[in-house]
Amino acid sequence: MNHNPITTNAWRIAFAASGVAMLVGAPRHPESDAHDSLRHELATMTAHDDWWFAHSFVVASTVLLATGLWLAYRYHSWPMGLRRALFGTAVVVSAYVVETVFHLASAVDSDELHHGDAAPVAFTHVGLSIVLYPLTGAAIAYLSARIFATVGRRRKPLAALGLAAGVLHAVSVPLTMVFPTTEFSPVFAGAAILMALWALGTGLAGLGRTSAAPARPELVRRMVGAAQHG
């Protein structure tokens, strides 16, 4: 496989752009009131002027993060030891993109939510979030833990940031479902900001020396095969 600095480092551009997009969108997310029912909360938030703005950037951020993960996997930009975790996280984040699209599109059901009518788009978002928030958070937390064990000392704080972001993201929706009258907006906000800082910081800093020499598994296999038959 032919490598050049552009393809090898393309993931960093996508990661950094993902972080910027999330930092733009997440702070504009409408607030909710935990004392209201889920339907009423969704009705209030989806009717807010900032809903489309905030979630458009969240969708863009998630698409860019998934793109960055796939670019890193496709061009062997990360160490071989991270490859399995990288692939798994790329798959899960790609699935999470679908949830963010339904999340954004929930606004089309705003009137139905207000009047107690069927709201298929909004509740599809809810159903997907119950599954995909924990999966996505766990995948990012695991990937960050593997990065922490791989990179040099100077980049470990960024990996720790990703680990914290993943854990918060994973528990945010389950906590809301288990404790419906407790306000967990700070958990969602914290997860989003930490995720943004992790993506932006990792994109700007890279993985250090471990990402400087992309792995070439086909060459390694040939060398091992030659040694075994020699």
Residue 138 pLDDT more than 60?
yes
Q: What is the mean pLDDT of residues 138-158?
A: 96
Q: Is the pLDDT of residue 1 over 60?
A: no
Which of the pair, 227 or 166, is modelled with greater confidence? Answer: 166
Q: Select from 219, 215, 164 the least CA-distant residue to 187.
A: 164
> What pLDDT sits at residue 179?
87
Q: What is the mean pLDDT of residues 87-99?
A: 98
Please state, for a pLDDT cut of 70, what percent of the chain lies above it. 88
pLDDT given at position 166: 98
Higher local confidence (pLDDT), 102 or 213: 102
Q: pLDDT per residue over 149-186, tens digit each?
A: 999 999 999 999 999 999 999 999 999 888 887 878 88
Q: How confident is the model at residue 97 (pLDDT cuts 50, 70, 90)?
A: very high
Query: 31-47, pLDDT tens digit by residue?
Result: 876 567 788 888 889 98
Q: CA Rg, the chain, in Å?
A: 20
* Lowest-confidence segment of 135-149, 170-184, 206-220 by average pLDDT: 206-220
Structure tokens at 61: 């951020």
Averaged pLDDT, 75-91? 96
Per-residue pLDDT, 37: 79
Helices 185-205 and 156-178 sit at what angle, rounded to 10 degrees?
Answer: 160
pLDDT for position 216: 46
Q: How far apart are CA 165 and CA 159, in angstroms?
A: 10
Per-residue H/E/C for the chain: CCCCHHHHCHHHHHHHHHHHHHHHHHHHCCCCCCCCCHHHHHHHHHCCCCHHHHHHHHHHHHHHHHHHHHHHHHCCCCCHHHHHHHHHHHHHHHHHHHHHHHHHHHHHHHHHHHHCCCCHHHHHHHHHHHHHHHHHHHHHHHHHHHHHHHCCHHHHHHHHHHHHHHHHHHHHHHHHHHCCCCCCHHHHHHHHHHHHHHHHHHHHHCCHHHHCCCCCHHHHHHHHHHHHHC
Q: Is the pLDDT of residue 212 over 60?
A: no
